[in-house]
Amino acid sequence: MTNDRDTIFALSSGALPAAIGVVRISGPQARHCVEALARRCPEPRRATLVRLRSPGSELVLDEALVLWFPGPRSETGEDMAELQLHGGRAVVAAVLRALGQIPHCRPAEPGEFTRRAFENGRLDLTAVEGLADLIGAETEAQREQAFRQLKGALGQRAVTWRQRLVEAIALVEAGIDFSDEGDVPDTLLVPALDLAKELLGEMTAALADGRRGERLRDGLVMAIAGPPNAGKSSLLNRIARREAAIVSPYAGTTRDVIEVHLDLDGYPVTLLDTAGIRETSDPVEWEGVRRARERAQAADLVLWVVDAAQDEGSAGATTAWIIRNKIDLAEGEARKDAPETGRSFRISALTGAGVDELLDALAEHAAGVFTGTEATLVTRERHRRALEEASAALARALAEGPTGREDIVAEELRLAARDLGRLIGTVDVEDVLDVIFRDFCIGK
């Protein structure tokens, strides 16, 4: 922890006005800030009600609950204070203005509190990512996954893997030292390779998760597609229960892709309404069609909407469910459907008939995708790459075998350890830090 750094402050709670506005302060001047405003510093970690005054005058700014967290046992690892103010715009503005006048104090940048926590070793990089995901979590399953990551699901595991690698490296290096004296004892290389094999097995298992972690973080993508006027926008609106897409009796009005985030029984689903996919000579519409095709193709599931009365085509190669819409108009009995590979539903986007059944099926589908035997450790592409690289290095070390060169084995094991170090953020992180902290808001 450096003492020459600025003390930072920010409103850490949400939009004003609100019942309470929480201002956090972190850095060497934190105690001085509290004393300047409250004229005293409360006992550590004890909520204390005090009048805050303008420094250098008797003007009362607010009456607030103040908490004092001396470092290093604080979230950032520095001295910290938290002011729970009345959440009025002018109240918070007055307190922030007063703090800004204290020497060496300045407003925090986005993610700066968390960045300090990381730099002071309070959180490893995977925990920082977990924290960002926890704040961004929109559904229950995302929240659970993010919380696990914040609490070290992958981070702790990587630390242990790395410790075992260091043991293996020590064994091989001991072997290298011996080799000056003639015979290299296999007895050192063999247990090192055994350890590497064990680690490779565990990492391979962690990677073989069907990308459930990343997919849960991003949400499943489902595209609503089908011929113009089939009722795609109407269906999306019906599902989202808000006017997200333009419903129009004219074909081709919905040119762009409109997306709605859904929470289906705790699982995140992004629903895309694609433009009426069809051939067109209008360049603007063509672009819409191209984009629609592209996103529909990348979707985890396509809901192919057709007019039940016209019963058009099918969605082609992608996994698709056929949604026969406008059953309120379809005359007579439902015609016998041609055999189909995916599932098929009969609905009316207008009356809502059959839509609940469709939603239940979608929720079940999402649950099926995300439910696995084990909680996933990998929740980001960055994690996956680090583990893949570490595994590749371990595989190269193992390829050397017990009669191989110790220096090569040692080097590969070192590379694997370095990959794990990057994963938790102990080495070589400068390039990823900005990307990770970019996602944070001010005050976090």
- Which residues bind to ligand GDP, rule: CB under 6 A? 228-234, 247-249, 254, 276, 325-326, 328-329, 348-350
Nearest CB to ligand GDP, comparing residues 17 and 352: 352
Nearest CB to ligand GDP, comparing residues 20 and 284: 284
What sign for the dihedral angle of Cα 366, 372, 378, 381? negative
Name the amino acid, one letter, at 268.
Answer: P
Nearest CB to ligand GDP, comparing residues 47 and 353: 353
By the 10 Å C-beta count (0-12 exposed, 13-18 middle, 19+ buried), 331 is classed as exposed
CB 237, min distance to ligand GDP, A: 8
CB 64, min distance to ligand GDP, A: 52
Nearest CB to ligand GDP, comparing residues 246 and 367: 246
CB 342, min distance to ligand GDP, A: 19
CA 11 – CA 167 distance, rounded (Å)? 46
Q: Which residue has the tokens 């089939």?
A: 230
Confirm if 317 and 225 have CB atoms less than 8 A apart.
Answer: no
CB 232, min distance to ligand GDP, A: 3
**In 3-state terms, what secondary structure has residue 419?**
helix
Q: For residues 273-300, b (16+ Cβ closer than 10 Å) or e, as one string?
A: bbbbbeebeeeebeebbebbeebbeebb
CB 228, min distance to ligand GDP, A: 5
Nearest CB to ligand GDP, comparing residues 126 and 233: 233
Residue of closest CB approach to ligand GDP: 231
**In 3-state terms, what secondary structure has residue 171?**
helix
CA 8 – CA 163 distance, rounded (Å)? 35
Nearest CB to ligand GDP, comparing residues 130 and 288: 288
Confirm if 387 and 209 have CB atoms less than 8 A apart.
Answer: no
CB 429, min distance to ligand GDP, A: 46
Q: What is the DSSP string of 107-168?
A: EPPTTHHHHHHHHTTSS-HHHHHHHHHHHH--SHHHHHHHHHHHTTHHHHHHHHHHHHHHHH
Nearest CB to ligand GDP, comparing residues 325 and 391: 325
CB 226, min distance to ligand GDP, A: 6
